[in-house]
A and B are shown apart, each in its own frame.
Chain A
Amino acid sequence: MNHWIIAPVLLPAVLAPLIAAAMRHDVTLARVFSMAGTVALVAISLGLVGVASSGEITIYELGNWSSPFGIVLVLDRLSAMMLLITSSLALMVLFYTITSGWDKRGRHFHALFQFQLMGISGAFLTGDAFNLFVFFEVLLIASYGLMIFGGGGMRLRAGLQYVVMNLAGSTLFLIALGTLYAVTGTLNIADLAVKVRELPMEDVALLRVAAMLLMIVFAVKAALFPVQFWLPGTYANAPAPVAAMFSIMTKVGAYAILRFFTILFGPDVAATNSMAADWLLPAALITLAIGAIGVFGAKRLFPMAAFAVLASMGMVMVAIALFTPEATTAALFYIVHSTFAAAALFLIADLVLTNRGHDHLKPAPMMMQHGLLAAMFFTIAIAIAGMPPLAGFLGKLLVLNAAQSTPYMAVIWTVVLVASLLMVVGFARAGSMIFWKTKTVEGDDISTAGTASIMSIGAVMVPIAGLVLLSVFAGPLSEYMQATAAQLFDPDGYINAVLGPK
């Protein structure tokens, strides 16, 4: 048994209480440990990607209880990839948090951050539906703390909304799991996949209810229409580094949908057959439209970034909803790209806020480091709007290409292209308001609100460099993702790996 599989859960789980208990008065020490832990997490997840890229699905049976009786962690290409995205994003965000001094604005940032990493890693690794619920709760509790980090009335109220929304979501998750257990008598994903395929037709109704409830729960996490309304308020009011880290949280929902509706309720299951795709596709298209319109109409930079996240989730879910290996490859590619692009967008918005004093999209005096921030902003805007030469364009092309052979091609192409246009216009407007229309205001020539430290600007350069690298190495990456998609659409491989060959 490969014990490294549990390390991404164990390492932050040990670090977090250590930081909370032993280093709560010493920010420097907490920073060192948090940073070291995250670097180690990146190294571990790189190793795990190496293990998974052989194509073999490795399992880790907790307490050596054989599945389906014990809880099992499953490492396949998808979970390894998601772990690597999480840990490298965490490293970038942590670097920015430390260099910009955000972690000094409240208490226990690093402990909460590590708990968050533990929850996200666990959610990506677990092969048990109830255990997924538990890891969801771990990442949610940590995210509540991070969301209201630094305090302030507006942020606390937005945090309250976020918590209530997720409490309702968790309740729904439990009802879905209960129904699933009542029908099949198991909660191990591989075992569920077997039982669902053997289910007699008279029990199918209850199973469909469970599948639909699960979809709604994951849609809440992924911020899909009609349960997307919590996202703009939450992300726009969260501390910027936290909002950047949250860009992986919506992807947890996308991951769960991908995992459950390929292996468990895949297109080959008679009980649910195309139910997931029928509901997911319209919801995803509307989400994309709402996101693009929000970007187009936003009055401030942070809500704008939040709507850009919404649009990118819509894009990812459009690709997932097609449920073909080609479309899933495109979805995975877009997940990687949009996670880093959205994170970079929130970080640059924070730099603008630091130097400008506010993030309203109206003319204001020129700020410090004006040209540099402008260049960075437009690079990130190009990335998130999916324009060439960055990888977002490639991802969009892959999605459009995958949609070509489906009956919904006309609708998908129209929505995607119009949404792209709206986003391009929206970002161009925001950029020109902030960086070009500077002299039209009376008074000072240059804003005295503040100056971002060189280190924190350097920290935002890291995800930008990542986005460029993503475009350069798009070839080998999409090969890995093709293999990942192929693995997802082979439920038997997953089932045999977890339960042993029949």
Chain B
Amino acid sequence: MEFLVASAIGVLTTAGVYLILRLRAFPVILGTAMLSYAVNVFLFSTGRLAVNAPPILEHGVNNYTDPLPQALVLTAIVISFAMTAVVVMIALGAFLETGDDKIDISDDSEDDT
């Protein structure tokens, strides 16, 4: 299972980094989404991988899973969700105002008044 989770994180991160280096807004946004999935799975695994173990103290149970990473992941999911919404809105605004979805600021456009 460790191998599966680790390679999943690796593949997601690779895809995310590749996409984030693209020149157009849409793949870049997808890339940030990929990266946030990767980091969520990664955060989850920092509490060690345990299957069928309760996160809350109970009588007669000795094997627990760490509840803190789950709380952290929840926070991270909410934040990355909101961030994706924000970045989509800004990208849409930039697309509608400038007429294309390139992510670069070129030198000649910087010289415009």
Cβ contacts B26-47/A at 8 Å (1 or 0 each): 0011001001101100110111
In the complex, identify which listed stretch (A166-174, A242-250, A272-280) lies at the interface while the others stay far away.
A166-174
B-contacting residues, A224-248, CB 8 Å: 233, 236-237
Instruction: Answer yes or no: A200 CB below 8 A from chain B CBs.
Output: no
CB contact under 8 A between A156 and B39, given known A182-B46, A233-B105? no
- Whether A168 lies near B32 (C-beta < 8 A) is yes
Interface residue tally on A, bucketed by range: 35 or more
| Chain A hits for B25, CB < 8 A | 160
Instruction: Give chain B nearest CB distance to A184 CB in angstroms.
Output: 11
Quick one: given A141-B86, A164-B28, are A157 and B113 in contact (CB under 8 Å)? no
Within 8 A of B (CB), among A151-197: 151-154, 156-161, 163-164, 167-168, 170-171, 174-175, 177-179, 181-182, 187
Cβ of B11 < 8 Å from any Cβ of A?
A: no
CA distance A57 to B16 in the complex (A): 42
| Chain B CB within 8 A of A107 CB | no
> CA separation between A1 and B68, bound complex, in Å?
26
A159 touches B90 (CB 8 A): yes
**In the complex, which of the residues A151, A167, A182, A233 contacts B32, with contact meaning CB atoms closer than 8 Å?**
A167
Q: Which of A336-367 contact B (CB under 8 A)?
A: 358, 360
- CB pair A181 B105 closer than 8 Å: no
Cβ contact within 8 Å between B90 and A148: yes
Partner of B90, one of A144, A179, A236, A358: A144
- Complex CA gap A134/B75 in Å reads 8
B86 x A151 contact (CB < 8 A): no
How long is the Cα–Cα vector from A178 to B40 in the complex, in angstroms?
Answer: 10
- A178 and B87 within 8 A (CB): no
In the complex, what residues of A have CB within 8 A of residue B98's CB? 153-154, 156-157
Q: How far is the CA of A178 from the CA of B69 in the complex (A)?
A: 8
Assembly CA distance A236 to B83 (angstroms): 23
What string of 1s and 0s marks CB contacts (under 8 Å) between B69-86 and chain A? 100100110011011001
A104 CA to B80 CA in the complex, in Å?
30
Chain A contacts of B110 at CB under 8 A?
Answer: 154, 236, 303
Give Cα A309 to B110, complex, Å. Answer: 19
Asked if residues A141 and B94 are in contact (CB atoms below 8 Å), the reply is no
B36 nearest CB neighbor, chain A only: A171
Within 8 Å of chain A (Cβ to Cβ): is B15?
no
Complex Cα distance, B42 from A160, in Å, reads 26
Nearest Cβ in chain B — how far from A295, in angstroms? 16
If A154-B112, A174-B39 touch, does A148 touch B68 (CB 8 Å cutoff)? no
Picked from B20, B97, B113, the residue with its CB within 8 Å of the CB of A151 is B97
Contact A175 B103 (CB under 8 A): no
Decide if A137 is an interface residue (CB 8 Å cutoff). Answer: yes
**Of the residues A148, A168, A178, contact of B20 by C-beta under 8 Å:** A168
Asked if A307 lies at the interface with its beta carbon under 8 angstroms from chain B, I say no
Contact of B94 among A159, A181, A233 (CB under 8 A): A159
Contacts of B72 in A (CB 8 A): 130, 177-178, 181
Whether A299 and B90, one on each chain, are in contact in the complex, defined by CB atoms closer than 8 angstroms, is no
The interface residues of chain B lying within 8 Å CB-to-CB of A168 are 20, 32, 35
Contacts of B93 in A (CB 8 A): 148, 151, 156
Q: Is B52 an interface residue (CB 8 A)?
A: no
B62 close to chain A: CB less than 8 A: no
CB contact under 8 A between A144 and B86, given known A160-B91, A164-B28: yes
Give the nearest-CB partner of B79 in chain A: A137
Distance (whole angstroms) from the CB of B80 to the closest CB of chain A:
8
CA distance A212 to B25 in the complex (A): 29
B16 to A, closest residue via Cβ: A171
Q: Is B111 an interface residue (CB 8 A)?
A: yes
Contact of B39 among A148, A178, A237, A360 (CB under 8 A): A178
Q: Which residue in chain B gives the minimum CB-CB distance to A165? A: B20
Q: Please tell me if the beta carbons of A174 and B86 are within 8 angstroms of each other in the complex.
A: no
Write the nearest CB–CB distance from B39 to chain A, whole angstroms.
5
Chain B residues within 8 Å of A151, by CB: 93, 97
Residue of B nearest to A358 (CB): B113
Q: Which of A108-131 contact B (CB under 8 A)?
A: 130
Which residues of chain A are within 8 angstroms of B68 by Cβ–Cβ distance?
181, 187
Given the known inter-chain contacts A171-B35, A174-B76, please indicate yes or no for A161 contacting B86, CB distance below 8 A.
Answer: no
A-B residue pairs in contact (CB < 8 Å), sample of 25:
A130-B75, A134-B75, A141-B86, A148-B90, A153-B97, A154-B98, A154-B105, A154-B109, A156-B97, A157-B102, A157-B103, A158-B105, A159-B90, A160-B25, A160-B90, A160-B94, A160-B103, A163-B90, A164-B32, A167-B35, A167-B80, A167-B87, A170-B83, A179-B46, A181-B47
On B, residues with C-beta under 8 Å from A are 16, 20, 25, 28-29, 32, 35-36, 38-39, 42-43, 45-47, 68-69, 72, 75-76, 79-80, 82-83, 86-87, 90-91, 93-94, 97-98, 102-103, 105, 109-113
